[in-house]
Structures are given as structure tokens and as C-alpha cells.
Amino acid sequence: EAGVAQSPRYKIIEKRQSVAFWCNPISGHATLYWYQQILGQGPKLLIQFQNNGVVDDSQLPKDRFSAERLKGVDSTLKIQPAKLEDSAVYLCASSQMSSRGPYGGTEAFFGQGTRLTVV
Amino acid sequence: DAKTTQPTSMDCAEGRAANLPCNHSTISGNEYVYWYRQIHSQGPQYIIHGLKNNETNEMASLIITEDRKSSTLILPHATLRDTAVYYCIANDYKLSFGAGTTVTVRA
């Protein structure tokens, strides 16, 4: 079974530039997550999708971050314009939909992440 | 969201059992307890989850107290490869991680 695919693996940009990350979840997984992980901290949930809809985006800095999930499959996360403090690893994960709720009793699978450095 | 509290770090001797505690006193009746771990430079990896009963799989055992306010993840025979950050989560709505417990297994 193919895992969660993310690209690119590494990205270096200058501040105020824009950047986009791509995620292809495991086939059939309805729930998709994007996380930001700053060095030394736990992953911070940015946005959670269930199919095409947004379950939670309360921690997404909407003035500069945006995310979409096309046809309930692939997803892109964009930052425009980037700031120095956006330097982090961006992780994508997916899980099967559960009758218990958007995340209930299911296992989430994570991609390798994209390491973003803003200089 | 049910808040979870874990120790910041702990050491364990290789070959011994590692017992990782988690407090989730505000957990609601239908929320599961989940454990994930993150090995350096990798994405988090699912370990186990449970509701009321104790659970065991090939990786670990999960012991949940009768009142469900706390749980313990047990790694029965810790190896150096179990060195990682371990996260306890009690939420069925969204997958949110706290700071976790940094577990260092020493030879």
C-alpha cells in the first residue's frame, strides 16, 4: 500500500516569497491533515479536511496561509508571503473516515514532511 | 478537546519495560485515547488506541484506568530504536498533538 506522498522534501525561500506544498493521501482516506512542526515542538494542526470540507482551521494563519483539497483527494498548502518564523517542517497525514467523527478510532498515516527554510 | 498531560522526559534501560503515563482527566465518555510516537526526522507513527479496556498489539500495551482519567503506555522490552517523542491524545474530533514525552532508551 502506498503511503502519504508529499513534495517537495526541502524548500529554501526568501522572506516575502510564496511557496506551495503538495500532498497525496492514501487512496480512500477521507480525512486529511496539515501540520506545522517547529524544531523542538510537537506538530501543530493547521487544518483538517474531511473530503472537501474543512473540519477545523482554527490555527491556520489565514492572512498568509491557505489550503485546498481538490475533489476530496490531493491537497495543497500555500504560504504567501512567507516570514522567517514559518521555517518548519510541514507534515501531511490522512485517515479513513469514521462513523464516530472526523477523527475517531482510526489510525492516521503521516508523510515524510517538507522542510521549509525561510531566509 | 480533552487536555492531556505527560511528563516532559524519561529514561529507560534497554531490555526493560518502559511505562509512559498520561493524564486526561477531562476526557468525555466516548473519546478514545490514542498514542503516537515520532522518531527523529520522521513523521508521527500510530502506536495504539483504546476506549475502556486494556489493549495490546505488537508494539505496546495500553492500560486505561477505570475512571478513564489516566492511562499508561507500556513498551514491554524497550530497544534503542524506541527512543522517540511519545504523544498521548484524547480527542475524537481532531488529531491534535501536545508536547509529548521524550523517551531515551539507554544501553
Which residues on B lie below 8 Å from A47 (Cβ)?
Answer: none
d(CA A72, CA A95): 13
Neighbour-count burial for B66-96, b at 16+ CB within 10 Å, e otherwise: eebebbbbbbeebeeebbbbbbbbbbbbbbb
A34: helix, strand or coil: strand
Q: Among A31, A57, A60, A103, which would you mutate to test the B interface (most chain B Cβ atoms within 10 Å of its Cβ)? A: A103
Neighbour-count burial for A14-43, b at 16+ CB within 10 Å, e otherwise: eeeeebebebbbbeebbbbbbbbbeeeebb
d(CA A34, CA A44): 8
pLDDT in tens, B40-61: 889 999 999 998 889 999 999 9
d(CA B43, CA A91): 7
pLDDT for the residue numbered B1: 62
pLDDT for the residue numbered B53: 84
Which residues on B lie below 8 Å from A43 (Cβ)?
Answer: 38, 44, 97
pLDDT bracket for residue A116 (50, 70, 90): very high
pLDDT bracket for residue A103 (50, 70, 90): low
Does B46 touch chain A if contact means CB atoms closer than 8 Å? yes
d(CA A66, CA A56): 13
pLDDT in tens, A54-100: 988 999 999 999 999 988 899 999 999 999 999 999 999 999 876 55
Q: Which residue in A has a C-alpha nearest to residue B96's C-alpha? A: A45
Q: Residue A108 is nearest to which of B46, B51, B100, comparing CB atoms?
A: B46
Which residues on A lie below 8 Å from B49 (Cβ)?
Answer: 105, 107
A70: helix, strand or coil: helix
- Strands (E) in B1-107, as ranges, are 9-13, 18-23, 33-38, 45-50, 55-56, 61-64, 70-75, 84-89, 101-106
Does B57 touch chain A if contact means CB atoms closer than 8 Å? no
CB contact under 8 A, B94 and A93: no
d(CA B54, CA A12): 46
pLDDT at A105 over 60: no
State mean pLDDT over B79-87.
97
Write down the residue that cell numbers 527554510 correspond to.
A117
A71: helix, strand or coil: helix
Which residues lie across from A11 on neighbouring strands? A116
